[in-house]
Structures are given as structure tokens and as C-alpha cells.
Amino acid sequence: MCDGPVIHFENVTKTYQNQSRPALENVTLDVEKGEFVFLVGPSGSGKSTFLRLVLKEERPTDGRIHVAGKDLARLTNWKIPHLRRRIGCVFQDFRLLPSKNVYQNIAFALEVIGKPRRFIRKVVPEVIDLVGLEGKRDRMPDELSGGEQQRVAMARAFVNRPMILLADEPTGNIDPATSIGIMKVLDRINRTGTTVVMATHDAAIVDSMRKRVIELEYGKVVRDQTRGVYGQAY
């Protein structure tokens, strides 16, 4: 069951209510275990819809989606939280809790899924080290730079060792120099065997990483290249 692709889209179409043009149209693609994938395309091309479908925050109008070996159409509402425990998420706006410090923000993700305190005490410092925030565990989010806040968000997304990490424009609010650091952390996470899907506008990053690139335009896959770049295919 887990030998297949971790994300499998088959003729997926998503049309939002009150909209004539589908956000995604007849998309078929596979993402294998351990892959690093860039999702590129202009705003409104369907990148975010793709990520929301993977999380089952939205339901496709048509087509089949399998994530981590599970058919999402047959996943009951009760089981959705269990799916999401296997998927980490990072966003452009970090989404940290302003009233909690670095350690508490990361621990929160484990507390709310009922992990024992001893386990939390052990793994949270490990993941703080992994994202390079040693010595900043007691800082509040407003005492951190944008890049540091995004590292906290990545630590929170990764602390439960998810199978897939979805990143929606993680460098969108961060300057290019700091972005390199963020990409290094994502790469490090990818090397542990976690599949990373990153939606981005940042051409420099895509070009420098030389990973698989899927380009969307008006909801359709117009390019799918291993070791691709941001711009048009040469």
C-alpha cells in the first residue's frame, strides 16, 4: 500500500462554487516517496487548490486522489485528522501562535494530538536543532526575524515526522539571502525521506535547486520536468 506514490491525482477537476472556470482541470500526476517537487505558476493557476485537495480541506469536483495510500473520497470525516498527522504544512505567513514561545509553538502540535509529555520533551529540542534555532527556544515569535519564524513553522510541521511536507510559498515573505537558509532546512527535511511539495514564485530558488518542477497554468499541468527550472523549458 505504501509502495505506490505518496500523492496520486487522477483526472482531478475542482470547480469552486459560483465560478465557471475550474481551479484545477483534469490534473493527473504522481509524486513518489522522498521526492522534492516545485509547484510553479502564476497566481490563480491552481497551486493552492492542489495543496488544499491533498489535505482534504477541499473535495474534488471530479477525479480520484490518493494520499499516503488512502483514497480521499473514501476517507470519513473522522479519519481526516489522521491523514493530516502524516502531512506537515508551512505557509507564507508562518501561522505561529503569538502568545507561545518557540518551544511551546512546536510542542503545541504534539500536545493537540495527545502525545505524552516525555515524548514531547525529547523530540522538540531535536527538531529545534534540525532547523537551526539552537538557543532560541524561549524566544517569542515577535522577537524573531521572518526567516527564524519560518524555521519555527517548519519545525512545527516536521516535529511529528510526517510523510509529506507541503510548503505554500514558504519564502514569500523572506529576503533572498534568508531564503537560502530556509531551502537548506527543507532540503535537510527532504533527506530524511520526507516528500516535499513546495508551491513558489521564486525563480532563483527553483533554478538553483534543480528538482522536479510541475508548472500549472489556468488549472492545467503545462509542464512536468525532473531537474527543471522556473521559466519556460529550453
Partner 1 sequence: MRAQFVFHEVWIGLRRNLTMTIALIVVVAISLSLLGTGLLFVKQVNNTRTYWQGKVQLSVYLCSKTSVSPQCTKNGPVTTTEQATIAQELKSNPAVDKVYFQSQEQNFAQFRQEFSQNQSFVNSVNSGDIPSSFEVKLKNTEADATTVGEAINGVPGVYQIVDDSSVLTKFYKLLDGARNAVVIIAIILIVAAILLVANTIRLSAFNRRRETSIMRLVGASNFYVQLPFLVEGIIAGLFGWLVAAGLLIGVKSLFLDTLQQYFPFNVQLSGTDLFEVIALAMIIGVLLCGATSFLTLRRYLRV
Interface with partner 1 by CB under 8 A: which residues? Answer: 55, 77-78, 80-87, 89, 95, 97, 108-109, 111-114, 116-117, 156-157, 160
> Which backbone phi and psi does 81 adopt, to 5 degrees?
-55, -35
Asked whether the CA dihedral 150, 156, 160, 163 is positive or negative, the reply is negative
Residue 81 Cβ vs partner 1, minimum distance, rounded to whole Å? 4
Residue recorded with cell 528538482 = 211
Residue 73 Cβ vs partner 1, minimum distance, rounded to whole Å? 15
Judged by beta carbon, residue 81 or residue 231, the one nearer partner 1 is 81
Residue 20 Cβ vs partner 1, minimum distance, rounded to whole Å? 26
Asked whether the CA dihedral 69, 52, 83, 132 is positive or negative, the reply is positive
Residue recorded with cell 482541470 = 25
Judged by beta carbon, residue 78 or residue 234, the one nearer partner 1 is 78
Judged by beta carbon, residue 122 or residue 184, the one nearer partner 1 is 122
* β-pair partners for 31: 7
CA distance 182 to 186: 6
Judged by beta carbon, residue 84 or residue 212, the one nearer partner 1 is 84
Residue 58 Cβ vs partner 1, minimum distance, rounded to whole Å? 11
Residue 70 Cβ vs partner 1, minimum distance, rounded to whole Å? 13
Alpha-helical segments (H) within the chain: 47-54, 80-84, 102-111, 117-130, 146-158, 176-191, 203-209
Judged by beta carbon, residue 8 or residue 156, the one nearer partner 1 is 156
Judged by beta carbon, residue 66 or residue 212, the one nearer partner 1 is 66
Judged by beta carbon, residue 98 or residue 135, the one nearer partner 1 is 98
In eight-state DSSP terms, residue 12 is E
Residue 154 Cβ vs partner 1, minimum distance, rounded to whole Å? 13
Q: Cα separations (Å) of 169 from 120, 189, 196?
A: 28, 17, 13
- CB 155 within 8 Å of CB 130: yes
23-43 b/e (C-beta count within 10 Å ≥ 16 → b)? bbbebeeebebebbbbbbbee
Residue 114 Cβ vs partner 1, minimum distance, rounded to whole Å? 6
